[in-house]
Amino acid sequence: MINLTKDMITCPIENTLKLINRKWVIVLIRDMFTGKKHFKEFNENKPNLSNTVLAETLKFMENNNLIEKKKSLVNNKPSTEYYLRKKGSRLNRILYEMAIFGIDELECGDEGDLEIINMFKEYYAELLKV
């Protein structure tokens, strides 16, 4: 067995949690997997997410290379879009496991109908490319 001390390496689980534990990060990454890419789209159906917090969270995600911001002109109007970078896309398995855990363990699925549960699992597998 390899003996790793805290001085040799920081805990990868703790480091990952520091990255994704910030409120809204996982939800925004999920939104990007579903195709959302504009500021206004991220605010939809999130009454507790203020514009200030959303802007700060997107900046945090950009600074940590989870997403990239692209500015362009659409019909001569400025437009800003956000895209997952490789690092953000690699969180797909974490999101998938969270979804499956929720379906299996937190009664987020219909316990009596295995067909519906399996449809949800297939949906998340396809959406998150796992």
Mean pLDDT, 10 residues at a time, over the chain (130 residues)? 63 92 96 96 94 97 97 88 98 96 79 83 95
Task: Give 127's contacts (C-beta < 8 A, 6+ positions apart).
Answer: 33, 34
Residue 48 is predicted with a pLDDT of 94
Residues 7 and 24: their CA atoms lie apart, in Å, by 31
Task: Give 99's contacts (C-beta < 8 A, 6+ positions apart).
Answer: 120, 121, 124, 128
Q: What is the DSSP track for 44-87?
A: TT-TT--HHHHHHHHHHHHHTTSEEEEEEEETTEEEEEEEE-HH
